[in-house]
Amino acid sequence: MELKRTVKFEADRDPEFAYWISHTVGGERIRHCLQCGMCSGACPLSLYMDYTPRRLMHLSREGFKEEVLSSFSIWLCTCCYACMVECPKDINITHLMYALKERAIREKFYPKRFPIPVMAREFAHMLLRSGRITESWLVLRIFLHCSLLRLFGMSKLGIKLLRSKRLRFAHEHIERREEIKKLAESVRTAKERMAL
């Protein structure tokens, strides 16, 4: 049996993470959080979460980076903004979930072959390449990267959609694709310049 200390000491926390969350876009008021729990109450997914939104807010502002970024909760968030609308302190909780996801993807804190980060990546690549999303190809690519088995399990769904003439395989794209590349490039250099 592996013995593990279950209580964390103050020194185990990551002050950089605590600083980052309260200085990132949307996190300005996280220190005002009352821990009232309105966010968790409003969240339709909180009953499936390992850490509810209220606990995530507290853990992240105190610098528990490991717990927060490896928590399953951030992937459960569907961005329905219920928490944010309810928050009496106007904390931009939904946006913080995005920020946490972005950081977890960047630092590779997620279960391997987990579809949500794969979807974010595939979506981004398709958008940068063609400027538009072709839903059928996006779904195919996600399953190709996550689980071929599930893709076969979905053949019934595919047939249903084909029958309703909703599945289209023609690749959508914009005319001036170079503009998308230029936009992304310009943001990248600006981010470096502004050290974001």
Partner 1 sequence: MKFAYYPGCSLRGTGRAYEDSLLAVFRALDIELEELEDWNCCGATTYLSFDELTSYALSARNLAIAERMQLDIVAPCAACYLVLNKTQHYMHDYPHIDQLVRGALKSIGFDYKDRVKVRHPLDILWHDIGVETIRSKVKAPLKGLKVAPYYGCQIVRPYATFDDQYAPVSMDRLLEAAGAEVVSYPLKTRCCGGSQKGSLPEIGLDLLSYLLIEAKKCGADVIATACPLCQFNLEVFQSEVGSRQRPISMPIVYFTQLLALALGAPFSDIGFKYSVVPIQPVLRQKEIACA
Q: Return residues touching partner 1 (CB under 8 A).
A: 25, 44-45, 48, 75-76, 78-82, 84-85, 94, 98-99, 101-102, 105, 114-116, 119-121, 123-124, 127, 131-136, 139, 142, 157, 160-161, 164-168, 172, 174-176, 179-180, 182-188, 190-191, 194, 196
Single-letter residue type at 175? E
* ∠ CA 104-108-110, rounded to 5°: 75
- Which residue, 63 or 131, is less far from partner 1 as judged by CB? 131
Residues 6+ apart with CB under 8 A from 61: 18, 21, 22, 30, 31, 33
- Tally Cβ neighbours within 10 Å of residue 35: 10
- Which residue, 58 or 137, is less far from partner 1 as judged by CB? 137
CB 92 within 8 A of CB 27: yes
- Which residue, 33 or 83, is less far from partner 1 as judged by CB? 83
- Which residue, 8 or 186, is less far from partner 1 as judged by CB? 186
